[in-house]
Amino acid sequence: MTMTRRMALASGAALPLATLAPLAASAQTAPAAEDTPRLSHRIEFGNMTINVLLGGEGAGTEPQKTFGLNASAEDFNELSEENFIPADRSFNNYAPVVIEVGDEVILFDTSVNPDSILAALASAGIAPDAITTLVITHMHGDHIGGMSADGTLTFPNAKLVTGQVEMDYWAQSGNETFESKVRPFMDDFRLISGDDEVVPGIKAIEAFGHTPGMLMFMLTNDEGNTLLVAADMTNHYVWSLARPEWEVRFDMDKPTAIATRQKVLAMLSEEKIPFIGYHMPFPSVGYVAETEDGFRFVPATYQFKLAAS
């Protein structure tokens, strides 16, 4: 019988250290499920199961030119240093979300291309034809890139949902990504506005500014608990929360985006509502705490695990 690493550790108290070491070393060479990259993170949320997907990652340089356009170099450097991150480069991820509720399997946003979103979905054990509804929060390339390729929808059975204001803007923008990814399916979309529900328990909230018609979605489960799928309300977990008034290059209407960010962050911190942010560090779910001059991101850890498990 081969002793597994777990058994060796469990009986470790009775074993001399010299025996433990080779066992641990041999366990590392055996193929194990935990060596597979984890591209999904599951949260049980009352009658809803939330799967946060790691749909892709990207690195950038000169982050102040993206996340702190109106900050002084001194303030940008100081805030970065206080938070143990470099001021001269950034790292970002894309976190689409799948919510299973009743008979519905609802995907929010699609990362940069079909391959990325399909790999992450596979990690969650979800087939592309199982998606019943695809919701697009807004139409930047890292959100619509995976929804289709060459005129073929990645999720063949999905009903399509997005914001009316968002669709109206992009339909007349001449944007290349919109034209190739969304235009062929434009007439199939159900177009919604703030306070409309995707399904009961998932309600749209207008979060204009980042794009003309971005929507966030407030979940309310059967226990009355809430969680916000916040899309790109915040683009960086330090800079956008600590200084919501800093201008972000991707915010198309900067004053409106700043006002939205300040309002939503204040609401999340006051009401202690957890949120999933598309560009928060994976698994991208956490809380907002108020600080003296802004906010900070508090990653969720085991808050959603059942007390007994």
Smallest separation, CB 205 to Zn ion (Å): 17
Closest to Zn ion by CB, 166 or 232: 232
- Smallest distance from Zn ion to CB 5, Å: 40
Q: Which residue has the tokens 């250290």?
A: 17
Q: Quick check: 165 and 196 in contact, CB under 8 A?
A: no
- For Zn ion, which stretch binds (CB under 5 A), given 43-51, 99-107, 204-212, 227-235? 227-235
Residue 232 vs 251, nearer CB to Zn ion? 232
Alpha helices for 30-95 (secondary structure H):
64-67, 73-82
Question: By the 8 A CB rule, do 210 and 138 touch?
Answer: yes
**Nearest distance from residue 259's CB to Zn ion, in Å?**
19
* Site for Zn ion, residues 114 to 153, rule: CB under 5 A: 142
With respect to Zn ion, which residue has the nearer C-beta, 8 or 138?
Answer: 138
Report the residue from 232, 260, 284, 294 that binds Zn ion according to the rule CB under 5 A: 232
> Is 281 exposed, middle or buried, given 0-12, 13-18 or 19+ CB atoms closer than 10 A?
middle
Beta-bridge partner residues of 93 = 57
Minimum distance from residue 284 beta carbon to Zn ion (Å) = 12
What count of Cα atoms within 13 Å lies in the side-chain half-sphere of residue 183?
Answer: 12
Nearer to Zn ion, 23 or 246 (CB): 246
Phi, psi dihedral angles at 251 (to 5 degrees): -75, 115
Q: How far is the C-alpha of 272 from the C-alpha of 255, rounded, in Å? A: 25
CB of 138 to Zn ion, least distance (A): 8
The residues of the shown chain that bind Zn ion, judged by CB under 5 A, are 142, 232
